[in-house]
Amino acid sequence: MKKYTYSAKDSDNPGKWRVVNAEGVVLGRLATQVASYLRGKHNPMFTPHADTGDWVIVINADKIVLTGKKWDQKVYYRHSGYIGGLKSITAKKLHDKRPEDIVRFAVKGMLPKNKLGRRLYRKLKVYTGDQHPHEAQKPEIM
């Protein structure tokens, strides 16, 4: 009789849908929880090289909390690709323009930097209000 560790495949994952309410939650604590569920670390069948995670819907992203002086001191950078094309925006200004991007950037930074991480990132849905268009998937509330 062979004894070996079971290695899950992508087809073994049923892929549940989960809803997370971000109202009054600190950004980093929310992002670690969401990244863990996207990755599938809560699943006993977790395999590092396979997608064993769930779909995650984050609602009320505009009511996220940052501690300390991070609203003014935290800066998000991007580059256009041209010389001198470095652009920056503070967390407060980004929250005024696109509040859901703050959650997206935090979660994306906690996922693997490879093909699997890009595939997992597509399973994250972030909305500013408390409504979302995924009721047909019967998501569980976390």
Number of domains in the chain: 1
- Residue 130, domain member (yes or no): yes
pLDDT of residue 1: 61
- Residue 40, domain member (yes or no): yes
Q: What is the mean pLDDT of the chain?
A: 94
pLDDT of residue 5: 80
- Residue 21, domain member (yes or no): yes
Q: Who has greater pLDDT, 44 or 6?
A: 44
pLDDT of residue 6: 81
> Which structural domain range is residue 29 located in?
15-66+99-141
Q: How confident is the model at residue 7 (pLDDT cuts 50, 70, 90)?
A: confident
Among 19-23, 73-77, 137-141, the minimum mean pLDDT is found in 137-141
pLDDT digits (tens, 9 = 90+) for 74-104: 999 999 999 999 999 999 999 999 999 999 9
Q: How many other CB atoms sit within 10 Å of the CB of residue 101? A: 16
- Compute the chain's Rg from CA coordinates: 17
- Residue 123, domain member (yes or no): yes
- Residue 93, domain member (yes or no): no
- Residue 85, domain member (yes or no): no
pLDDT of residue 128: 96
- Residue 54, domain member (yes or no): yes
Least Cα distance to 15 among 43, 34, 35 occurs for 43
Q: Is the pLDDT of residue 43 over 80?
A: yes
The DSSP symbol for 43 reads S
Instruction: Provide the CATH number for the domain around residue 120.
Output: 3.90.1180.10
- Residue 128, domain member (yes or no): yes
